[in-house]
Amino acid sequence: MSSEPPIVMISSYPPRLCGIATFCEEAREFIQERHPERDVLVISHTDGAGEGVFPIIDIAQPDWWKPVVDQVERLSPHAVHIEHEYGLYEHKDAAGNGDANRGFLDLLRALEGRSVVVEPHTVHGRLCDHEADFIREMTAHADVVLFKCHYQKWRLDWTFGTRGWQTPTNIMVVPHGARPDRRWTVKEVAELKKELGFSDAVHLGDHFVGLMGWIQRNKRWDILTSMWEEISQEIAARTGDDWDLLAAGEMRDENDQDEYLRYRDELDLLQNKGLAHFYEFLPRGDLYYKVMACCDFVVLPTIDETQSGTLARIIALNKPFIATAPMEGLTAQALESKGGLLFSTKDMLRENVIRLACDENLRMELGENLKRYLEDVISWRIVAAQYDEAYDIARHANHSRQKPILPPEF
């Protein structure tokens, strides 16, 4: 243990199959890289594990937060950095009724006197009433709150204003980080295809369009698979090249079983025609990056969420992408990075897939834009420095007992 006070993160954590857990693992790695003089420790749910991890959050208990407070007090941290997602901290009683994250707000109240930074992963542009109430309470009890996107901050001014509330002044915008160390050359990608067995699949050509990640009903892989045969024929007619659909991932939630089976049936039909390939794997860790690296570009046909974790990997690899719009942070980062094309109809998706497959120069241009965006804006090393700034602001606010006054977006 270091002699300097640690940075303590509170979050879900691997081996839990959870996007926030993976996020915390990567964030912790780069915070630790920036702070060799301190330990970066994690207080996690009971299914977390690893060195420096305290798996004590038991959401089955209504007072789950009390052992967390006790552990924080024993660790006496430099700063407390909390990853928030509503489902992570929702206690449900025997009848299945949730507590609307009241336990999480109790945790923040009990941590007053510590320097607390909260990083919420779901802040919709148009908040429903319980979300607005929660954010009002959360910002009142945390020292600093980190939003992922600028639109979330400037939309909050409108949302709070219409309710007659004062807009919180302690909100910083810190983007979802992306790894700066997971890029492969063309030659190395060829070796990856051999390693993963893609070179042995006789029907697979040199060019892949990717569908990646957890297979869920809201990811809507079928939007692309239903059109892929026609699209691939059009690409071949225009370029003379064979393009294949590489769908890769695994089901996480048993409630998505019907959609998983339907998507698999559609992919099996395409695979039997030599037009697609399904690669089953748990989408996390280095393997996720390797599979995605084999694609020329990636399609994100989600209809419900930002998919920031998938997009962060896409950006880390400088892969052009096509995404649904309007779609909260997904659209915001497509615009800010200038690295992706957007669609809002099936015809637009069809046109953009064909356009991107037929225009190598466009793929190169979008990839270069993503490279700059990664290196200048969202590299984990840049984000870790912004976390440091947030910790310093939180510590000053805590010591002075005054809320930070950070500048508005507009």
Which domains are assigned to the chain? Answer: 7-177+380-400 (3.40.50.2000), 186-378 (3.40.50.2000)
Return the CA Rg of the chain.
22
Alpha-carbon span 123 to 20, nearest angstrom: 14
pLDDT greater than 70 at residue 306: no
CB 257 within 8 A of CB 251: yes
Q: Rounded to 5, what percent of the chain is helix, strand, coil?
A: 50, 20, 35
CB 277 within 8 A of CB 246: yes
Alpha-carbon span 195 to 214, nearest angstrom: 22
C-alpha distances (whole Å) from 282 to each of 1, 262, 297 are 33, 19, 20
Q: What 8-state DSSP symbol labels residue 333? A: H
**CA count, 13 A, side-chain hemisphere, 173:** 14
pLDDT of residue 201: 83
Which residues fall within 8 angstroms of residue 281, CB to CB, at 6 or more apart? 248, 249, 250, 287, 288, 291
Alpha-carbon span 239 to 329, nearest angstrom: 34
346 Rama class: left (phi>0) / alpha (psi -120 to 50) / beta = alpha
pLDDT greater than 70 at residue 33: yes
pLDDT greater than 90 at residue 204: no
Q: pLDDT tens-digit profile of 43-82?
A: 999 999 999 999 999 999 999 999 999 999 999 999 999 9
CB 205 within 8 A of CB 170: no
Alpha-carbon span 104 to 84, nearest angstrom: 9
Output the six-digit token pair for 344.
């809002």
CB 211 within 8 A of CB 221: yes
Q: Average pLDDT of the chain?
A: 95
Q: Per-residue confidence at 304, pLDDT binned at 50, 70, 90?
A: confident
Q: What 8-state DSSP symbol labels residue 378? A: I
pLDDT of residue 307: 63
Q: pLDDT tens-digit profile of 117-131?
A: 999 999 999 999 999
- Residue in 179, 148, 135, 145 with CA at minimum distance from that of residue 22: 179
